[in-house]
Amino acid sequence: MIPVILCGGTGSRLWPLSREAYPKQFLPLAGEQTMLQATARRLDGLAPVGGVPVQAPILVCNEVHRFAAAEQLQEVGRAAQKILLEPSARNTAPAIALAALAALENAGEGDADPLLLVLPADHAVADVAAFQRALAPAAELAALGHLVTFGIVPSCAETGYGYIRRGEALGTGGWKVAEFVEKPDAETAARYLDSGDYSWNSGMFLFRASRYLEELGQHRGDILDACRAAFAGAAGDLDFTRVDAEAFAACAEESVDYAVMEKTEAAAVVPMEAGWSDVGSWSALWELADKDENDNLLHGDVLAESSEGCLVRADSRLVGLVGVRDLVVVDTDDAVLIADKGRVQEVKKLVQRLQASGRSEARSHRKVYRPWGYYDSIDAGPRFQVKRIVVKPGQQLSLQMHHHRAEHWIVVRGTAKVTRGDEQLLVTENQSTYIPLGVKHRLENPGAIPLELIEVQSGSYLGEDDIVRFDDDYGRS
């Protein structure tokens, strides 16, 4: 069995905390660990399922998130056997196809057709033991050729999830899928709950790699052909595998539900009651977490007076509430969200407006993570920008130059090794240096503590695309 962790979502309904460049799977929303780290740790201690040993996971993520994904797994002592990079977002059906092709290519003699346990990276599971117990009956069905989905036993008449209606019993703790249904209205959801025949669609699956590709080829052969072509053109890049960008761009964008599960005659459902949530909105996070005596979920520097049922997250300043109820207030360095808790699904509309107007707040935070560390944009104005840059010990930025800006660097902590044209120099705390426009330069941290500096950029254009790289440890062009 090979877990497949799908790490390509954008989490737009959790804006402004979740952004396109750093979405919710990389954030610690439901605990101290990030969603991705919790998903990987969920597999800890998993004994062979149905006699089948469990291997290290295959991770599928967008190429822009590759360093964040690899670093977060490393932070919790986990590693993927392969990290597949999608050059563009094409939804879950193509992502799983790439993982299935990779699993079959790497399979040994004893596991020539491995089982794939498909897990989104951005879901929360409170009861890990219950999650693991549900895998055994699912593995039995998958070994017989079924495409198994996990149906969450509903705890309320939820309107934010799709539902699965179960059919005849299969005798191994599962049922044939009679029908997949879209998100219902409140009256329909209550009827589903009362019937006992419906479960929430979790988006988690278990099936043989070959069976998935067989069913995908039968129902969406165009997607399979595009994924085969993209995988055939794959190339290694450090610890990652890049599929062919042009071939993958020609692939249709489709979910596994629409492409396969709703069409196949082999779909089966196994119930799971494990405190599951897809954490798909601020209200879902409020439902999931422990709240105070007034049903408020408060994070950060928050004062709430005569307020009930609110979710407040203050990451950058003091937030005060007086005499309100059922509000969502999320404060970040560069954006504040205020929403009715009952209408948080509409946050996605705000993000779409930001995207349409080209606003940077849709894509990235003020603090932007890089494989060498991060930078925080402190201030900006006409022809200038100020950043706080932190470089991890032993790391260095690319050897680069800029056509439109010069840079001043002031070291406030640690020691910087600076390449400037043909010279190299060490710059220590309270010292500074100047990088003229058009001069090749590189910043390195040779020390054992993080290097912190203030960078002042000045010039006619200050965009991040004004970087010409000549050499880079991380394979960036």
Instruction: Kindly report, residue by residue over 316-335, the tens digit of the pLDDT.
Output: 899 999 999 999 999 999 99
Give, as one character, the DSSP assignment of residue 126. S
Distance, in Å, from the CA atom of 91 to the CA atom of 157, rounded to the nearest integer, reads 27
Q: What is the pLDDT of residue 53?
A: 83
Distance, in Å, from the CA atom of 274 to the CA atom of 232, rounded to the nearest integer, reads 39
Share of the chain above pLDDT 90, in %: 85
* Mean pLDDT, residues 99-111 taken together: 80
Share of the chain above pLDDT 70, in %: 99
* Mean pLDDT, residues 388-397 taken together: 97
User: Is the pLDDT score of 9 beyond 90?
Assistant: no
* Mean pLDDT, residues 359-366 taken together: 92
Q: Tell the burial category of 129 from Cβ atoms under 10 Å away from its Cβ (0-12, 13-18, 19+).
A: exposed
> Is the distance from CB of 311 to CB of 339 less than 8 angstroms?
no
The conformational region for residue 137 under phi > 0 = left, psi -120 to 50 = alpha, else beta, is: alpha
Strands, E assignment, 267-310: 267-272, 276-277, 297-305
Phi, psi of 144, deg, nearest 5? -85, 0
| Bond prior to 16 in cis (omega within 30° of 0) | yes
The conformational region for residue 261 under phi > 0 = left, psi -120 to 50 = alpha, else beta, is: alpha
Distance, in Å, from the CA atom of 271 to the CA atom of 130, rounded to the nearest integer, reads 10
Q: What is the pLDDT of residue 110?
A: 54
Higher pLDDT, 49 or 184: 184
Q: What is the rounded (10 degree) CA torsion for 319, 324, 326, 332?
A: -20
Cα-based angle 180, 61, 204 (whole degrees, multiple of 5): 25
Which domains does the chain show, CATH number per domain? 2-277 (3.90.550.10), 293-355 (no CATH), 367-471 (2.60.120.10)
Q: What is the pLDDT of residue 1?
A: 92
Q: What is the pLDDT of residue 219?
A: 97
Q: pLDDT of 280-321, one tens digit each?
A: 999 999 998 999 999 999 999 999 999 999 999 999 899 999
Q: What is the pLDDT of residue 111?
A: 61
Q: pLDDT of 440-476, one tens digit each?
A: 999 999 999 999 999 999 999 998 889 999 999 888 7
User: pLDDT band at residue 237, thresholds of 50, 70 and 90?
Assistant: confident
Q: Tell the burial category of 73 from Cβ atoms under 10 Å away from its Cβ (0-12, 13-18, 19+).
A: buried
Q: How many CA atoms lie within 13 A of 172 on its CB side?
A: 18
